[in-house]
Structure 1
Amino acid sequence: MGILDGKRLLITGVLTDASIAFRVAQVAQQEGATVVLTSFGRQMRITQAIARRLPQPAPVVQLDVSDQEDLDALAERVREHVDGLDGVLHSIGFAPQGAFDFMAASWEDVSAALQISSYSLKSLAVAARPLMAERGSVVGLTFDASFAWPVYDWMGVAKAAFESVARYLARDLGPEGTRVNLVSAGPLRTMAAKSIPGFEAFENSWPERAPLGWDLADTEPAARACVALLSDWFPATTGEIVHVDGGVHAMGS
């Protein structure tokens, strides 16, 4: 019997089997959960193919978090596969290339980053709200926004907003029994990382700075943290950020 036995989860952001979201789905199924994935557009076929690599093939529903029609239809689409949800994983982030130049970025680039990478947490939580069980859990993935990181620029600002959104959601959804927490993972070689120009700046320094060491290819530690927060093992924890970064967040320069 696993810690997610009988749980029904909606997991976003599965695009390759190197993604944190894929590993969360895999570990969640191993721990007894029923998993539904989301995708949209040209990525849909890719996600459907990747879903067949899970221990149990998972259905994929259409969801573009920037499309209000998709958000409005989410509950109905999910109900075609499960009768409710016990947890949701937000693993969505995007910024146009221009947003990685802090001083030159246009509002068009910045607003796109904020909508997809920050506001979407609220959008997803609201869309899933009609399905959520009495003691549900929303978990999101972040990258520590306490610092001005090299090359991260407006995506770093978007993550700061994302972390604030999580706190406000924790406040507003708490009375309904829904917990909202984040996992701050260290840098990993995912598709999202490949879209960040100069990502090598993290790759070269992180393993040396982490007291526990850091494997840039190992998504399992972050996935296990997400699964734990999606379970009933943290019944009185909300508005929290759990760092899974080898300990770098606690070290000085």
Structure 2
Amino acid sequence: MTGLLEGKRILVTGVITDASLGFHVAKVAQQQGATVVLTGFGRMRLVERIAQRLPEAAPVLELDVTDQSQLDSLAERVSEHVDGLDGVLHSIGNAPASCLGEGAFMNAPWEDVAATLQVSAYSFKSLATACLPLMSEGGSVVGMDFDNRQAWPAYDWMGVAKAGLESICRYLARDLGPKGIRVNLVAAGPVKTMAAKSIPGFSAFEDAWDERAPLGWDVTNAEPVARTCCALLSDWLPVTTGSMVWADGGFHAISV
């Protein structure tokens, strides 16, 4: 049986550990027939070891989305491993501690807020631009989101960044649509990752989700979110763009 991503060439960013959403997307993508290239930042030896845990070991490139020289060279470096890209996963976000938790929204300094916005929102556009030379009609760019149509406890400036990410998705969809490239976000429920551990009071999200999500929610299981990402990276949603697709057990649809 042919896999959903058979023959596709996918760039997956933001892998830190094997708990990362990016890792799980890469794993499912490979299982569905894709050739995967990973990017990491900082602890590159760790990311390289993690890449060995995939069904097939994947090459790892360094990518600091705040370093324009690395963005400018990305297409060339990716080309050393694949002859083009059919899909890109943006799974990158970071906020200094001052931007999360009680009092953060009112007290975080602009320098930290600016860093949060650049890494967690603007980089979606930066990454898409960097990969554009390798992408052809039918390509798909997918970003990881956390639904920010409302304010969340403790999420603060990261929430603002995610709201910006959602707007950037729509503008990217507008500008890349004429090239035949789709741009979408997956709004995932809370999953236990390195990023989640940095959010004060994350356990409150976990408890609320399992209680309210009609389908229930397992914070230790990233595969349903990964499958949703891979569906968007595939050819099976050819006219879906500028959208936020929920993979949250239905939590978003249920009021208090």
The normalised TM-score by structure 1 is 0.98
Deviation at 1:169, TM superposition (A): 0.1
Deviation at 1:133, TM superposition (A): 2.1
CA contact (8 A) 2:25 2:227 kept: yes
CA RMSD of aligned residues (A): 0.7
Give the structure 2 partner of residue 9 of structure 1: 10
Of 128, 153, 156 in structure 2, the residue corresponding to residue 153 of structure 1 is: 156
The one-letter code matched in structure 2 to 1:12 is T
Give the structure 1 partner of residue 61 of structure 2: 61
Give the structure 2 partner of residue 165 of structure 1: 168
CA contact (8 A) 2:196 2:202 kept: yes
What is the 5 A alignment of 1:192-231?
A: 192-231=195-234
Of 118, 122, 125 in structure 2, the residue corresponding to residue 119 of structure 1 is: 122
Alignment of 1:95 onto 2:95 = yes
Alignment of 1:128 onto 2:137 = no
CA distance in 1, matches of 2:223, 2:207: 21
Count of residues paired in the alignment? 252
Alignment of 1:142 onto 2:142 = no
CA contact (8 A) 2:14 2:41 kept: no
The one-letter code matched in structure 2 to 1:242 is V
Over the matched positions of the two proteins, sequence identity in percent amounts to 68
CA distance in 1, matches of 2:79, 2:213: 43
Q: Which runs of 4+ in 1 moved over 4 A?
A: none
Give the structure 2 partner of residue 72 of structure 1: 72
Of 176, 189, 192 in structure 1, the residue corresponding to residue 192 of structure 2 is: 189
The one-letter code matched in structure 2 to 1:40 is F
Deviation at 1:39, TM superposition (A): 1.2
CA distance in 2, matches of 1:203, 1:236: 33
Q: 1:105-147 CA distances to partner (integer Å, 9 max, x unpaired)?
A: 1101110100000000000000000000221000000000111
Of 224, 244, 255 in structure 2, the residue corresponding to residue 252 of structure 1 is: 255
The one-letter code matched in structure 1 to 2:83 is D
CA distance in 2, matches of 1:201, 1:109: 25
The normalised TM-score by structure 2 is 0.97
Give the structure 2 partner of residue 40 of structure 1: 41
SS of corresponding position for 1:138: strand
